[in-house]
Structure 1
Amino acid sequence: MLTMYGIKNCDTIKKARKYLDANGVAYQFHDYRADGLEADLLQRFSDTLGWEALLNTRGTTWRKLDEATRSAVDNAAAAQQLMLAQPAMIKRPLLCRADGSMLLGFNETAYASFIVEKS
């Protein structure tokens, strides 16, 4: 079973969900805002993908931070603390398989490969 992590009103999440639905792929959706985010889950994401990959520094939430806050995010602990406080800071979507493998972002070709690999 696949689990998609993200925020339901994100345009990229909507595209990714539409792709999975159109291709008949079963998945569970975990909305960070509605379902929450546990520190141990974020740690697992960070261990697998790296905190730099997870932290969305191109989004509105990041740009709204003051310079001192952005400058202080220079290590895994600081980044994880920020992402736990503001889950919109996490790049999305994050697609996870039961075996622990993960795919960050949405690209139809990458999704097709990731889905086939699970079979």
Structure 2
Amino acid sequence: MYKFYGYKKCDTCRKAEQFLQQAGIDYEFIDITENPPTADELAAIAESANVSLSKLFNASGVQYRQLKIKEQLPALSNREILTMLAGNGRLIKRPLITNGKRATVGFDAERFALIWN
């Protein structure tokens, strides 16, 4: 079963959901702001999606800017990054989609077509 970590009020998440629905992919929607992935799940998603941990941050988000994450990142260990993200779903770039083997971070129609079709 696919896990879709998103936020219902997010336009990007709605586009990703529409893509999955049109592709006939069943998924479990998980509100990322209420139930963010654990640190271990985030590490697995980053590895499966082939992205660095810093790419898991929602760099355009209000909290990212308020907490000055960009300035903190160079001094943070991987474990600190994962703990920070797992503790605050609003810091995570969305949507996160995983089937346990593959994963995507954010929404890009071309990438989705390659990964999820």
TM-score, scaled relative to structure 1: 0.77
Partner of 2:5 in structure 1? 5
Taking a change above 3 Å as real, the CA distance of residues 113 and 47 of structure 1, as seen in their structure-2 partners, is closer
Partner of 1:42 in structure 2? 42
Q: 1:7 touches 1:88 (CA, 8 Å); kept in 2?
A: no
Please give the alpha-carbon distance, in whole angstroms, between the structure 1 residues aligned to 2:20 and 2:9: 16
Pick the structure with greater CA Rg.
1
Partner of 1:28 in structure 2? 28
Q: 1:3 touches 1:28 (CA, 8 Å); kept in 2?
A: yes
Structure 2 counterpart of 1:11, one-letter code: D
Deviates more, 1:44-53 or 1:8-17: 44-53
Figure out how many residues of one structure are paired with residues of the other and give that number: 113
Aligned to 2:97, which of 85, 95, 98?
95
Q: 1:33 touches 1:87 (CA, 8 Å); kept in 2?
A: yes
RMSD: 2.1
The Cα of 1:52 is off from its aligned counterpart by 1.4
Structure 2 residue runs of 5 or longer lacking an equivalent are: none
The Cα of 1:54 is off from its aligned counterpart by 0.8
Superposition misfits of 4+ residues, deviation over 4 angstroms? none
- Cα displacement string for residues 81-113 of structure 1 (whole angstroms, at most 9, x for unaligned residues): 321222111111112123x21111112222122
Structure 1 residue runs of 5 or longer lacking an equivalent are: none
- Cα displacement string for residues 47-97 of structure 1 (whole angstroms, at most 9, x for unaligned residues): 4432111122222221122x4x65233232332232122211111111212
Aligned to 2:61, which of 55, 59, 62?
59
User: Percent identical across equivalent pairs?
Assistant: 27
